[in-house]
Amino acid sequence: MSPTDQELWSATAAGNTAAFGVLFDRYARAVYNHAFRLTGSWSLAEDMTQSAFLVAWRRRADARLVDGSALPWLLVVTANTARTETRSARRWLALLRRLPGERDTAADPADEIAGRIDDERRTRTLLAAVRRLPRAEREAVALCVWSGVSYADAAAVLGVSETALRSRVSRARARLTRQLSNDTVEDR
């Protein structure tokens, strides 16, 4: 019988790296998928997964397991890590734009190849629409719709009632439907 998340997290909080490794093996794929949905990039999702688990290790004493599961807390850590990384990237790009340009402006072929991946294009379109949602609705969509966390677990992690969370998801779906249908009409 495999140990529960609660047992593993108790051992992790005491500094047991092997227990943390089991939690990593158990949830790395879910965290990675969540990170991809937040970033729209496979490579950024890999970096985000590593960062999220590093933050989870550092904050292991602060973990809030929901119904004995570490996944909702890990997904919130991932979302917060993604938000921090996005802010850092924006600042870095702003700094780079202030620097004088280089003479050789040859395009990187990796950028062209990445732009052709259909999954990333569709995800970026959806991600752009999700980013226009209010933060509370973005969090609800990321946890409940994208990552399949139950409404009750997501509500507990976010500190709201399940009814409020269901309302957020419903409003977000309606807004996304309008935004994506408007974007499709504008593209024609």
Whether residue 14 contacts residue 6, with contact meaning beta carbons closer than 8 Å, is answered with no
For the whole model, what pTM was predicted? 0.61
Helices then strands, counting H and E runs in the chain, come out as 9, 0
Is the four-CA dihedral 49, 54, 57, 60 of positive or negative sign?
A: negative
Q: What is the mean pLDDT of the chain?
A: 85
Q: Model confidence at 170, in pLDDT bands (50, 70, 90)?
A: very high
Query: Tens digits of per-residue pLDDT, 59-109?
Result: 999 888 888 899 999 999 999 988 888 788 788 877 777 777 655 555 666
- pLDDT above 70 covers what percent of the chain? 87
**Domains in the chain: ranges and CATH:** 1-98 (1.10.1740.10), 120-188 (1.10.10.10)
Q: What is the pLDDT of residue 129?
A: 85
- pLDDT above 90 covers what percent of the chain? 40
Sorted by sequence, the CB contacts under 8 Å of residue 37 that are 6+ apart come out as 123, 127, 142, 146, 147
Axis crossing angle, helix 151-158 with helix 162-187, rounded to the nearest 10: 100
Q: What is the pLDDT of residue 183?
A: 67
Q: Give the mean model confidence (pLDDT) for residues 33-41.
A: 88
Q: Model confidence at 41, in pLDDT bands (50, 70, 90)?
A: confident
Residue 144, pLDDT above cutoff 70: yes
Whether residue 52 contacts residue 31, with contact meaning beta carbons closer than 8 Å, is answered with yes
Q: Round to whole Å and give the CA distance between 135 and 119.
A: 24
